[in-house]
Amino acid sequence: MDESQGSAPEATPAPVSPVGRDGGAGAAPRTSPTRRGVLRGGALAAAVAALEVLKNSSALPARMTSAAAAAPATAAAVLPDIQFDIADYVGPVTTVDGVEVQMGPVHTVFATARLLRPPTRGDQSRLSSALSTIERAYAFSPSGVFTFVAYGLPYFGKMPGGLHGPLVSAYMPRLRSSTRRYVLEEAVAGPTDVSPSNPRITKRRFNVPVSIEGNDLLFTLRSDNAANIQDVLRWLGGSNRLAGRPQTSPLLSDLLTFTSSRAMFTQIGLPRKVADANKLVYAFMVNPRSPMWMGFADQQTSGTSAAGAVTFQASPLTTARPGDYFGNGSVQHLSHVIMDLQQFYDVDDKGVPGDDAMYTERVQYMFRSTPPPSEGNADQYTDGGGPAFLENTFQGTDDALRSAQGIGTPEGEHRIGHLSCLQRSSRTASGQPLHVRMDGPGYDGMDVPDGSAQPKLQFTVFVPTAEFFRVMRSNQASLDLAEEHDVEEDENGLERFLTATRRQNFLTPPRLHRSFPLVEFI
């Protein structure tokens, strides 16, 4: 679930073209490059280019300024220790069609990086200074820039003694249920990912095997203004200018190389604008009020936890205690997903709808069938065929089971809805979410076999343990329920429409230790 507020005024759409086949994997920036050199190639250049084409279709939202964002708080010490805790900074919750939502920053870039050598205390100081410089130049608000930093298992493996050496072992929280295991474990292929571990799984259009990435760092940059993120990316790449003023860039080329970038956009109506601008065959079926590709909003406040509840120290799933080094940290999962929207909207190459194109079908795939949350409009196809904003209602952890059994479904059909499957383990018995989602649409050519731009789901989520996400992802597929209760593949949620091509888990440390954690002990 994302965090944000309100809709935005209309903007004239401009064609959105592919960002690039690989999303920008490339060489590290030079020590003192020119601005042209920074933009010539590589992951940062790809991110800048992606934002350039997307900002022409987006608009700056008219947000109500929150009390937190209005405060003159530029020093890192007064910003939230939980890095991703931005709900109080993006404006108050708003209501759309009777549903409480909070819309996050319009633009987000995920930039992954690998270290060229183990970091030193000097590197730690340099990164800390760079992050503080960004926050002095840009307010910690949607009109400025939000910056998060997270670390993968390869990073901790570079500490003295390695991943299971005395340093990491002393500070890394563990699972309360199995204290030999860390809260941070590597991502695994999901049960419906294309993978040698799933020999029976194939996808109709994008049959791309999933890759478990091995990055050391993940930078997440968020803002309503794409130009702000572009400016920060250029500065990190060596432009020596920030927020319109001369500012020496951090020297990163001897330390790390950026390996990929992924641009995400989240705004009411923006997916439809991108679909229209690129003449996608199903564009007429994308709801013009939806912030998501599949036509249903995903920003309901009822579908996400407060940030403080998913930290290591707050969760009963971990051994962490208040005040621990990583206490206010969380596990961040990042995945890159190609969406087969032509299959989801069930239209042929000429845009003619098929048997499963009706809104009443699609809403059941997304939510549930016990009962469907909406019957839609008389016209089931045009502009989505029904409302985009629906309550993310919790009907118990056994909701997916009842649906798989055909109990309470239309005509007793055995069918499973995506959200009801997630809720098998994503919430407490009383319905409280146990994760903070921060996903949204993308549109580029990354990992697409023919290099064409395709709709993407840029998915990230903050959870208390990697094991929690593994179980939740398995329940999202619910292959166990499908097999036990004879649910056909084309009646099982959204799995057949999604191809995850990349996955990795990261640890997002508290703000206090966001700059190369543990290095000060070396």
Q: Which two tokens stand for residue 250?
A: 């951090």
DSSP 89: G
Give dist(CA 360, CA 488) in Å, integer.
18
Q: Which stretches in the chain have pLDDT values below 70?
A: 1-41, 65-77
Is residue 168 included in any domain, yes or no? yes
Tokens of 268: 């009411």
pLDDT of residue 66: 64
| Predicted local confidence at residue 274, as pLDDT | 96
**Residue 65 half-sphere exposure, CB side, CA atoms within 13 Å?**
9
| Per-residue model confidence (pLDDT) at position 10 | 32
Cα-trace Rg, the chain: 22
What domain range is 174 assigned to?
A: 35-521
The alpha-helical segments, DSSP class H, found in 432-487 are 466-477, 479-484
What gap in Å lies between CA 79 and CA 359, rounded to an integer? Answer: 43
CA 254 to chain centre: 29
The answer to the question of residue 5 being in a domain is no
Whether residue 425 lies inside any domain: the answer is yes
Residue 28 in domain: no
Q: In whole angstroms, give the CA distance from residue 341 to residue 454.
A: 9
In a domain, 305, yes or no: yes
Does 23 reside within a domain?
no
User: In the prediction, which pLDDT does 69 show?
Assistant: 61
User: What pairing do the DSSP bridges indicate for beta strands 436-437 and 454-463?
Assistant: antiparallel
Question: According to the model, what pLDDT value does residue 92 have?
Answer: 83
| Number of helices (H), then strands (E), in the chain | 14, 16
What pLDDT does residue 247 have?
97
Rounded to two decimals, the pTM is 0.91
Q: How many CB atoms lie within 10 A of CB 8?
A: 18
Q: How many domains does the chain divide into?
A: 1
Q: What DSSP letter does each residue of 479-514 carry, written as one string?
A: HHHHHHTT--GGGBTTGGGEEEEEEEEEEE--GGG-
Report residue 497 as tokens: 């429409």
Q: 394 near 431, Cβ under 8 Å?
A: yes
Q: Residue 283: inside a domain, yes or no?
A: yes
In a domain, 115, yes or no: yes
Rounded Cα–Cα distance for residues 234 and 238 (Å): 6
